Chains A and B, each alone.
Chain A
């Protein structure tokens, strides 16, 4: 009987010790888990702040990229005008240059001393890959004092590669621009 009572006391003591240990372990684990959770929340907040900073920097860089695209589109037309003007022989001069982005054309009006120089000018334009369709629109003989000159107009259609980098298509292709309803 005494042995049984001792065993009961031993089991009860084991249960109490186990309960105390459990409480202690759980408290320690909970403390560690709380610390880790707090760290996690703080890191998540920091990550969110970094994400916002990254988004802001990325938006700035993307705006610059967009501005560069706009500038590139402007530059492509200026390059077209420059390359047409660079084809001018010495005795041909331009009186009017007009770009038309809608139909990707360039109109050049000018004055040439001779048919040969006019022909050389048009030949030079033909050799330029930026221009696809070049034709002599009109030629008129004019007299200035003792000089006889030719007034001419040359409409030029841009080649598809040059037209693709022109202002109108570039604005649509490079930046997705959507007109707001009701704007």
Chain B
């Protein structure tokens, strides 16, 4: 079976052995199935230790029937998830994601100062789900 191979300028696709010197060599490339926005609304409550805590999760249903490769990013900062930060004085946040055979879930766990109790903050994310399979 013949294969489509496209070498970078200066290289011969018929004889080149170094994979880096191809633009495309018929090896798999990730194929995007879904991209979209997902927001997580976090409401802060009393953590019982003099501070505030907010935890929330949202999901997108991909419905592929298998666990796909997927990525998530913070839309406001452009940062790649997972993200962790610790600002000191009990202010810290953890953002992570997971995938199963039906959905991608993005989770936020944020701790802050007492004055945050009762506040709601919306975190905005962008996901990319591939057709390529994990399991």
Bind each other: no
A residues sitting closer than 8 Å to B (CB atoms) are: none
Residues of B that sit less than 8 Å from A by CB: none
